[in-house]
Structure formats: structure tokens, C-alpha cells
Amino acid sequence: MIKIPHKEFKDRINRMKDQMKREQFDLLIIYGDEYRRENLRYVSNFWPLFERGALVVPYEGEPILLAAPEGENVCKEMSAWPNISLIPDFACVTVPDDIEYPHANYTSFGSLFADIQQKTFVRKVGIVGDDAMSRQVYAAIVDGLAGCEVSDANAILCESRLLKSENEIACLKEAARIADVGYKALLAAAEVGKSELELSAAAHQAAFEAGAEAVPFCLVSSGKRVETIIGRATGKRIEDGDMVMAALAIQYEGYIATINFPFVVGTISERQRQFIDLLLEANDIAISKLRPGGKQSELVKAVKEHFRNRNVSQYDLYPPLHGCGVAEAESPYPNESTEGVFAPGMTVNTDISLFGHPDGSNRIEECFVITKDGYERMSRLVGELSRQWKETGNIDPAIVQ
């Protein structure tokens, strides 16, 4: 089974400690919950369910994972770190009631930080994920850190997550493989009279059977509903000639790959063909800019210039590329003034879209890893669908069997 080994979590913490030294942080607190799991999963492998969690990283000493009672056993099962403490403030994310856990062996932020202070001097503390915390949790942490300077440390993990290891790339490739399986099932289910929910169900079933850990989203919209941009599947039934916008994100061992390819069910019009051709041309332009040392801004400029030349800029709503990893969309997220360059080990998604166009709304999304020689596709399906479309003007049914 493809996994991130324990040693790699240790290496990540050691790199973070190097950054802590540069920033003069004595302690880092990396927060996560069911909804904003990426940072905590990256440093601990733990993904809370219902509850909250955090990894406390002193500059000297081993990390301490903070969890809540219901998730204690799954925390022990998943965690890369053996030192686990329960915090009452982390129990049950979504309700205001006081929930009693009579057998829980709780500590408090104040007691925890006092214990750490006995072993190492703590003056400056960085918090990663403060933008995802509730006001109450943030206040409880700061109260427990009385006398310390508390600062935003989100940049530390953003930098650390930018370049992926061989193990991370392997997990993303596996997520992309599963996404291909799920998307094929979705395409096979796409018939006149089927509901959007049935297409989504086909993708979910196939993806989980193929080994998905989770499906962060499966967007399906058809006909006029494609203009919703990120529309959830509904009971709307697909009619002949409906364009479908379907995006499938698959999570495997914490890593998320997303694919999307535009298609029409039943009779396709010439104007719909031209619209999909337009997206494919822009996607090809974006891919041509994926190379180590290449400016990320040049990719954005090239796609936007293509859309300007085709007089469709008013339908171009957001940047054509973003990173992927433990979040579905993460850095880099370039615009036309971004100074960053592509480097081997970066993993990115092209995200080529036009919404509100009179001939349809849709996107092409596929995932790549930047290599020393150029790039490698992680999704095989999107490239094959693109090739078939260019050759035949349609999707070959044999691809989805």
C-alpha cells in the first residue's frame, strides 16, 4: 500500500524546526479539524472526525498531538506521533452544548504549556491555521500561553508543502488513478434521462471500490445549470444535447487529485464543439508552459491572452492553474504578476474555465507533477479524452468501458 512513512513525518518536523529557528519561534501549534484538515494531516497524519485537533511542536523535544475523546482511538490509529493529550475545547466541532465524557483523561492548554515551559523556554509561539479556528478555541489557546508573543505562522507550512517528496507524488498519482476510475464510471452513466445524482453516485461507488479514502467533492451540473460553476448534483434529469460540467476530487492517504473534462450527452451542436475546442486550446497552451524554471505568470498570461484574442475574457473568472496536494487547491496559485517559477517536485492542476458563455460553461482540470525534464501527467484519462476529442470531435465510448 502506498503511504507516507513515519520517517517522512519526522523529516517534515525537522525542516519546520529549521524554519522555526530562522523565525525565532520557540513553539508551533498546527491546527486542523474535519473541514480544514490539510495542515494537521501533513504534520501528523491525523484527520479529526467531528472534532478538532492540533500538533504542538516545541523547538526542543518531540511533538504532542492534541485530540478529543471520541476521536482518541482513531487518533492513536492514524497518528505519526505517540504522545497524545485530550483537550476539552476540541470536543465536537459543531454544537454549542457541553458534552460530558466521564472517562476522558483531559488536560488543559494552560497545563500543557506549563509542562513544556518546564523543559524549554517559550517566548514566541507561532500558530498555523488560526484562520480556521473558532474564536473560542483561539482565545483558549492564547489564554493558555499567557506571557508569550503569539504570531501567525501559516507561511511556514505553505513553504514546506510546496515541493513534494517521492512518497507524496506516489500518493497523488494513486489519487489520480482512482479519479480516472470514478470519472469513467460517471461518463458511462451519463445518458439522457439519468439524473445528475445518478452520475455522481456512479463516480462515488467506483472511486471507493478503487481505494479512495474520501471524495472531497463530485460536482455535476447539466444544461443551464452548468453556469453554477461549482454546482452540486441534483435530481435534475439530463436532456438530449445537455452539456455536463463534472469535476471529481479524490483523496488518497490525505492527498487530493481532481479531474474535469467537458462533454455533451446525446446530440452535440457545432457551437458546443467549438466551445470545447476553445477550452482544449487554452489547456494545451497552459501545458506548454509547464517546465522547471518557467515563470508561473507566463502560463497565466498565455491563457488569458488566448481568451482575449478569442473575445471571451468576460467569461474567464479565475486563474488557470493552482497547486494540489493535501489540499485540493493550494500554492502555487499564480496570477499575471506572480514572480514564482516552476520547480521539480511541484504538483499542479491546470484549471481552464469559461462560465456564462452563450455556448456553454465548463472547465478542463487535470493534475501534473513538474519533473527535471518538463512535466508528467498524473491523470491518464484527461489526456486520452483530449486526444480522442481532437481526433474525432467526441469522446470514444471505448474509453469509458
Q: What is the CA radius of gyration of the chain?
A: 23
Judge whether 82 and 59 are in contact, CB under 8 Å. Answer: no
Nearest to 85 by CA among 98, 93, 76, 95: 76
Task: Dump pLDDT digits (tens) for 369-385.
Answer: 999 999 999 999 999 99
Which residues contact residue 196 at a Cβ distance below 8 angstroms, ignoring those fewer than 6 apart? 220, 221, 222, 225, 233, 234, 235, 236, 238
Q: Is pLDDT above 80 for 17?
A: yes
Instruction: Give the residue carrying C-alpha cell 507516507.
Output: 4
Q: Is pLDDT above 70 for 117?
A: yes
Mean pLDDT computed over 232-236: 97
Judge whether 30 and 57 are in contact, CB under 8 Å. Answer: yes
DSSP state letters, 58-108: ESSS--EEEE-GGGHHHHHHH-S-S-EEE-GGGS-TT--SPPP-TT--B--
Q: What is the pLDDT of residue 398?
A: 67
Q: What is the pLDDT of residue 400?
A: 66
Beta strands 84-86 and 64-67: pairing type? Answer: parallel
Q: What is the pLDDT of residue 94?
A: 72
**What crossing angle do the helices spanning 166-189 and 196-209 adopt, rounded to 10°?**
140
C-alpha dihedral over 31, 34, 37, 40, to 10 degrees?
40
The pTM assigned to this predicted structure is 0.95
- Confidence class for position 74, pLDDT limits 50, 70, 90: very high
Residue 110, classed as helix, strand or coil, is: helix
Residue 382, classed as helix, strand or coil, is: helix
Mean pLDDT computed over 304-314: 98
Mean pLDDT of the chain: 95
Q: What is the pLDDT of residue 397?
A: 66
- E strands in 261-304: 263-265
% the chain with pLDDT above 70? 99
Q: What is the pLDDT of residue 120?
A: 86
Domains and CATH numbers, the chain: 6-160 (3.40.350.10), 166-400 (3.90.230.10)
Q: What angle do CA 291, 369, 81 make, to 5 degrees?
A: 135
Judge whether 182 and 207 are in contact, CB under 8 Å. Answer: yes
293-313: string of b/e by CB count within 10 Å (b at 16+)? ebebbebbbebbebbeeeebe
- Confidence class for position 401, pLDDT limits 50, 70, 90: low
% the chain with pLDDT above 90? 90
Mean pLDDT computed over 380-394: 92
Using left for φ > 0, alpha for ψ between -120 and 50, and beta otherwise, residue 365 falls in beta
Q: What is the pLDDT of residue 387?
A: 93
Q: Is pLDDT above 70 for 59?
A: yes
Nearest to 325 by CA among 217, 218, 165: 165
- Confidence class for position 1, pLDDT limits 50, 70, 90: confident
Nearest to 137 by CA among 179, 103, 106, 91: 91
Q: Is pLDDT above 90 for 104?
A: no
